[in-house]
Structure formats: C-alpha cells, structure tokens
Amino acid sequence: MSSPMLLLPLLLFLGLRVINAAAETRRPCRDLLPLDLLSRVLSRAGEGARGVTGGGVHLIQSGGVKGVRLSRPHPSLDFPSSQHLVNCHLFPREFSIVTTVKVSLVAPKKNEYIFSVVEEKEEEDARIGKRKGETQGGTESDEERDGETDGGGERLMDGEKRKGSGDGENSNSQGQLLIGLRFSRDGLHFLFRGRSGGVMARWVFRGIQLADDRWHTLVLAFSGHYATLTVDCNTHLELVHSKSLPSDLSVQGSRFHIGSRGRWNGLFSGLIRQLVLVLGSDATPRVCPSSNPGLAELAVPAVLLDLPQKETRSDLTLPSYESEVRVSVGLEKTCSSSVRGQLWFNPVRRALYLCDGTLWVPMLQESQRLDYVLEQQVLSTSSETYDMEVFSVHGLGLMAAMAHRSPSLGSAIYLWRDGGFHLYQKISTHGALSWRHFTMGKKIFLVVSNSRESTGKEETVEKDELSVIYRWNKKTQRFVHYQALQTHCARDWEAFRIQGHTYLAVANHRQGNTNHTIDSVVYKWDRGTQLFEPHQALRTSGAYDWEAFTVGPYHFLAVANAFDGQTTHVDSVIYVWVDGSFRLFQTIKTFCATDWEMFQIGSRVFLVVANGHQLHGNGPGRYAINSTIYELDMSSQLFLRFQDIVTYSAVDWEFFTVGEESYLVVANSFDGESHSLNSIIYRWQGYEGFVPIHRLPTIGCSDWEFFTSGEESYLIYSSATAPLSKVFRLKTH
C-alpha cells in the first residue's frame, strides 16, 4: 500500500530534475572569455614550410604584418560550436565580433564570408538531398535555398557558384545558415536566423570602403534591435533593425566555419589577421582607442605576431644599468628585499610596478574602463516608483529611498547588504514623486515630494498636500518626521549650500489640474527656529526638476519647466546667485524638460537636459526627440549647444565615472507605444562627444542612480509602470 505513496514523490522529484536540467541547457552563452576563432583553426592546420599550413591555409606577410589567406574550404577551417560554447545553449542577443582584414578587390555581385555558423544535418538528410539533385557544386545559391531576405522580401544572390571542387572536402551534410558575416562591394552584411525556422534576415552597413588593399579593424557590437560598427576606431555606424536578434538561436548541433560557409561559393579572398567573438558585451572599449587603429588588437594568433627573437648568449656582459634594473613580465611576482628596486610588468592589468622591498608600488597603470553590464538584482517593490535617492549613513552603510506611487502602501527605504537592497523602513507618503538626501553638520535629513490627485475639491486637496522633511534618529536608527511644508504637486527637491547657509528648493508642478504657471519656492534654514523658512519665490511652468551647481565663485540653480497648460514648448531657466537671491542668467528652449544634470570633464562644464515630448494643444505628441548637452562657454558666459542625442520620453540623466572614463545613462520611458524599451549608456569620446556603448532593457524607466560598494560599481533604475527596480553591476577591465 505504501508503494504508490512513495512512487509519487519520486516521480515529482525526477520531474523537477528533468525540468531543471532542461532549463539549464537553455541558458544563453555569456561571461565567457573572448573566443579567438582564428587561433582555433591555425592550431589545427599546423604551420609547414614557407608559411604554408594544412588545408589550403597560407601565412602571408603584407604591409609589414602577417595574415592568413585561404585557398579552399577545408575541414580544418570548421569546428563544432559546442567545443568552445560550453555549459550554455542559446547564442546571446548581446555580443561583439572583432576582425582585422585586408581586401584588394571584391568582384561585382560577389559576397565573401568572414565566418559563419551553420546547422549540421544528419548524413541521411544529405543522401536524400543528393538523390534530389544536390550535387557538390549545386545549381541554386545558398541564399535561394535558405530563403534569406532583407526584411522586405528582397532576394539576395551570391552570384555564380564554383562547381565541382573535386577534392571531396566540400560537405553536403550542411544545414541552414544560422549566422553569417560577409562583405560585398555595397557594404558589410550580418545575417541571422532563429533555430525555430523562418526567413533569414540581414543587417547591412553601407558606405564603407574595405576593398582598398589596406588593413582594417572592424568591431561589430549587437544588442537586440541595435548594432554598431566601428572601423579603425574612427568611423562609427549605428543601425536599428525592425527584426531583433533571435532569442531561440541554439548553438547545439552547429559548426563554425572560418573564411567561408563551408563551400567554394563565398570563400574569403583577402587576408585575415584577427577574428574574435566576445559574448555578452560590447568589445569596442577593449579595442579602441588604439595607436595603430587599422591593426588594433584584441587577440591575434601568436604565429601572426611575428615578434623578433632576441639573441641570447651566456657570455654576454650586460651594461651596469641593465644588470642592476630588470623588468619581469608575468601575471604574478613576489616582492621581497632580494628584488628591491626591480620592475614588474603585468600584461593583464597593463601596469608597471616597482618593488620597494615589501610591496609592489604602481608606477604606470591603465585606468579601469567599463566593459559590460550584468544584472545583479531584481528588487520587487510595493508599488511603482517615480524616483530614488541612494545615500550613505555612517556606521550603517548604503541606503536607497524609493518614492512609491501608492498612497496606501507608502514609500520605503532599503539597506544594501550582501550585494543587494533589502527593506529597512516604511514611511507613510501620499503619491510620492521624489526623495532628496542632505546633511547639516552631523545631522542627516530626507525630504519627500508628496502629491495628491485632484478630486474636484481643490481647497481640500491644497490643504492636505504637504511634503515632509525627515531626520535620522541615531537611537532608533530610523528616519522620523521633522517638518511639513505646503507644496503643489511637488516633483523635486534640491538641497545646496551657499556661504555657509543651507537651502532647499522645491519644484511645484501645478496647482489643481490646470494651473501650471505658479511659484516654486527656495527655503532657507533658520538657525533660530531650527526650521526651513521661505526665502524666495521663483515663477515656473510645470516645474519638474531643480539642479544646483557651482562654477568657481558662482552659484547656479537650473529649473526644468515641462508644461504651461497649453504646450511643452516652454523655456527652462538658469538662475545665478547675486546679492542674496537668485536672478535670471539664461533661458533655454526645452520640450517638456524633466531633468537637468550638471557634470564636469576636466575643466569643461556641461549641462544636459532630458526632453520628455513635444505637445501643443490637442495635437499629437512626439516622444522620440532630441535631448541636448550644453557646454558653458567662458567667453560668452552662456551655455551653448554641444550635442543632441535622440531619446524616448527621457525623464532622467545620470553622470558617472569609472576609472578615468566618463559616462552618461539616460532613462528612456516611452516611445509612443510601449514603456518597454532600452535605456542607453554613453561614453565620453572627446571631440566625438558621447557615443552609445550599452543598451539596457528597462520598463517605464523613471530614474537612474550610480553608486559604489567596495571596489564594485553599480547602476540601479526604478520603474514608474511596474513594481520593480533593477540593480546592474558594471564589469570593468
């Protein structure tokens, strides 16, 4: 009688094991080391006399460096994907390809493959194909059989196929082309298809000239619907494709083919010096900038490096300076009194160290750079979140105050522990829109912007609409109510100090439902009453954000005006502190401005505005519009337009640095149809301004905050449309 009872748990256990095993095999490939595909095939071919290797692989020197030329397809030039993509099943939607090539000429209507990933077929399928007339050379093009299109049904042709290789090396057991990188006279083509079938799609980078008999290094970075191509660390092209990279592309049962797709047709005729696949990240920061952009390196096979060998003689007497100071190269080196004064170079860190007898002292070290971004934590919140404030409390650590939408559930403060945020304190709020942290001496404060929806009884709403200042209580280790201030749909608070005094500025968005042109207020701390008292009223139009900053001896306050009741085409205003109050400094035309972010790079001062959308009267709104970076021009004493960046109903900018590199991340919240879209990280590139390097999937993104914990750097975003926030860890190299 007990057998059936014992059997049921066993079956459930085995079922869970099967489900878990299936889930494990469907993991995408990421966090792998860069895959040096060219070294893989060279090690199989082996070098022979006069630079000739097996399988028609030739080592050719051109332009002072070596490359690989292929004379025919060969089994040594392909290998199973599973040999290198281990412990994973799906090809990631974010990856990079780095290749260095030299091409003399491309024939008209000819496509040549740099590499491909092809599905394997069983031998029985191949025999059936032969009986149906699939000869070795074939008569129909690869693309005709694969049904490849350009997203609009355009048939792609490879020109005439070379028939009958006669060497028996061109396998007929190939299946469909899954991934391909090829080029032609009209540009560089990336082809892909999901394993679930469907039409082949391609992305084409046009207008680049590769067939000029010069070495070129190409870095292609892909993420979802987006792709970028960097040529010689200079030319930067970006594509947005209607077809996203497939999420079901399995690497199981497929083969990599180098320099072809396994057939004569499409064989690469140029030289290849480098071919690297980087999964899960954008490899551009690893390669660029470079002192030799055309030959920029990520991973070049050792046989192509062509490094001269130094002559070694046991009886050679070194000069005194060479015998006293030596440079060791390696990943690890012990510093002791016996090697005091000696140098050590770490090739991974790209750093030079000097031994002081006990420790290695850095003499020259490459700064950290953002490599890629990992999802660290998905934080479930009690409600949608409009804003966050990350700050530190001495003796306790990092905290995050989150402004939750729900008036019944209130807002919450989270504490950072063990690599994630955990609920620490709940605070009663009413339609909270933002938090701001500030200190006065040893006193720690938080101020929240509360708002209430209109009910038609405006007097009641106005009377109850109070924002609150909370003070940290050391005994209870909690924030407690300190002071309430009358506000009007307050969107933001800004705290700052001028000449030893503390000020708070509130952005009053509207009074009632229709009156947007109202006073926002600057409060000043009164040392006598120990309260904040009104200091100055400033007329604003749908105020959304304040940004206070200092340049030299001057104090500025910028307001983001969003709406005047009729249109979002309103001026935002920058004020300057003169004789105890703020006065007009400059007006800037904005479109539903939701945020100002001031930052400095070196001695240069910038302001970036987040433009939300264009709306006038009852007309349609535009959500894909430019947000603009302005730079302070010292000669004209004005902020002048520096760079426009297309954003999608942007609501926040966050500036941060990693090492010596500077970055901006934007909160894209809505594109007119969906709240699920990418927010983007941009890196400072000097004269090029900010360029996109990472795209992070977000849902109704409302705010970004950057913070550090130990030696790690993080970003966290909040969602105004879903009860969640996400923490991302920034991987550096």
Tell me the pTM: 0.57
Asked whether residue 128 is domain-assigned, the answer is: no
Residue where one domain finishes, among candidates 317, 340, 365 = 365
- CA 46, CA 333: separation in Å to the nearest integer? 33
Q: Is residue 127 in some structural domain?
A: no
- For residue 611, what are its two tokens? 């433009």
Q: What is the pLDDT of residue 479?
A: 98
Q: In this structure, are residues 205 and 229 in contact, taking their beta carbons and an 8 Å threshold?
A: yes
For residue 660, the model assigns a pLDDT of 84
**Long-range contact pairs involving 103-106 (C-beta distance under 8 Å, separation at least 24):** 103/183, 103/210, 103/211, 103/212, 103/213, 103/269, 103/270, 103/271, 104/211, 104/213, 104/269, 104/270, 105/211, 105/269, 106/183, 106/184, 106/185, 106/210, 106/211, 106/269
What is the β-pairing status of strands 343-346 and 174-184?
unpaired
- Tell me how far apart the alpha carbons of residues 555 and 536 are, in angstroms, rounded to a whole number: 15
Same structural domain for residues 522 and 504?
A: yes
Residue stretches of the chain with pLDDT short of 70: 1-28, 30-32, 44-55, 86-87, 121-174, 194-198, 306-326, 331-332, 347-350, 364-369, 453-464, 733
Residue pair 654/637 in contact by the 8 Å Cβ criterion: no
Torsion of CA 642, 646, 650, 654, to 10 degrees: -50
Distance (Å, whole) CA 70 – CA 127: 28
Cβ contact 611:570 at 8 Å: no
Q: Is residue 429 part of a domain?
A: yes
**Type of residue found at 378:** V
Going by C-alpha positions, the residue among 344, 503, 353, 480 that lies closest to residue 413 is 480
Look at residues 698, 694, 700, 633 and name the one whose alpha carbon lies nearest to residue 658. Answer: 694
- The answer to whether 400 touches 688, Cβ cutoff 8 Å, is no
- Strand 65-70 and strand 215-223: the pairing is unpaired
pLDDT for res 178: 86
Indicate whether 1 belongs to any domain: no
Residues 277 and 349 placed together within one structural domain of the fold: no
Token reading at 707: 């913070």
User: For position 72, what pLDDT does the model report?
Assistant: 77
What phi and psi, each to the nearest 5 degrees, are found at residue 418? 55, 45
Spatial distance between the Cα atoms of 340 and 348, rounded to a whole number of angstroms = 22
Maximum pairwise Cα distance, the chain: 99
Same domain? For 180 and 195 the reply is yes
3-class SS of residue 126: helix
**Measured distance CA(670)–CA(624) in Å, rounded:** 9
Give backbone dihedrals phi and psi of 285, rounded to 5 degrees, phi first: -65, -20
**Overall residue count recorded for the chain in this entry:** 733
* Number of other CB atoms surrounding residue 41 within 10 Å: 27
Q: Which of 347, 365, 383 is the endpoint of a domain?
A: 365
Confidence at residue 145, expressed as pLDDT on a 0 to 100 scale? 40
Task: Report which residue type is found at 245.
Answer: L
Residue 407 CB-density burial (10 A; 0-12 exposed, 13-18 middle, 19+ buried): middle
Within 10 angstroms of residue 44's Cβ, the number of other Cβ atoms is 17
Return the HEC string of 585-597: EEEEEEECEEEEE
Asked whether residue 397 falls in the same domain as residue 348, the answer is no
Q: Tell me how far CA of residue 351 lies from CA of 194, 302, 343, 345, in angstroms.
A: 43, 22, 10, 6
Domain span including residue 344: 326-365
Residue ranges of the alpha helices (H) in 66-122?
none
Count the domains in the chain.
3
Give the C-alpha separation, 285 to 732, whole Å: 10
Same domain, 331 and 421: no
Give a yes or no: residue 10 inside a domain.
Answer: no
Domain match, 361 and 487 both: no
pLDDT at 121: 66
Alpha-carbon gap, residue 300 to 441, rounded angstroms: 56
Segments of 356-498 assigned E as strands: 360-365, 370-380, 385-393, 397-404, 411-417, 420-427, 434-440, 443-449, 466-473, 478-486, 490-498
Indicate if 359 and 394 belong to the same structural domain: no
Q: Which two tokens stand for residue 632?
A: 């302070």
The answer to whether the bond into 92 is cis (omega within 30° of 0) is no
Locate all alpha helices (DSSP H) within 233-319, ordered by sequence: 284-287, 302-305
DSSP 455: -
Q: Is residue 16 part of a domain?
A: no
User: Which amino acid would we find at residue 612?
Assistant: G
> Residues 429, 353: one domain?
no
In angstroms, the CA 202 to CA 197 distance is: 15
CA distances from 5 to 10, 15, 17, 288, 441 (A): 9, 16, 19, 64, 68
Q: Where residue 571 sits, what CATH number does that domain have? A: 2.130.10.10
Establish if 166 belongs to a structural domain. Answer: no
343 shares a domain with 294: no
Query: Do 114 and 83 share a domain, yes or no?
Result: yes
The predicted pLDDT at position 239 comes to 79
Residues paired with 249 in a beta bridge: none
Domain-located, residue 142:
no
| pLDDT for residue 651 | 97
- Residues 337 and 215 occupy one common structural domain: no
For every residue of 135-203, DSSP letters joined together read: -SS-SS-HHHHHTB--SS-------SPPP--SSS-S-S-EEEEEEEEEEETTEEEEEE--TT---BEEE
Q: Which residues pair with 566 in a beta bridge?
A: none
Report in angstroms the alpha-carbon separations of 644 from 39, 660, 688.
42, 24, 12
Residues 278 and 334 in one domain: no
Beta strands in 612-711 (DSSP E): 624-633, 638-648, 650-658, 661-668, 676-684, 690-699, 701-709
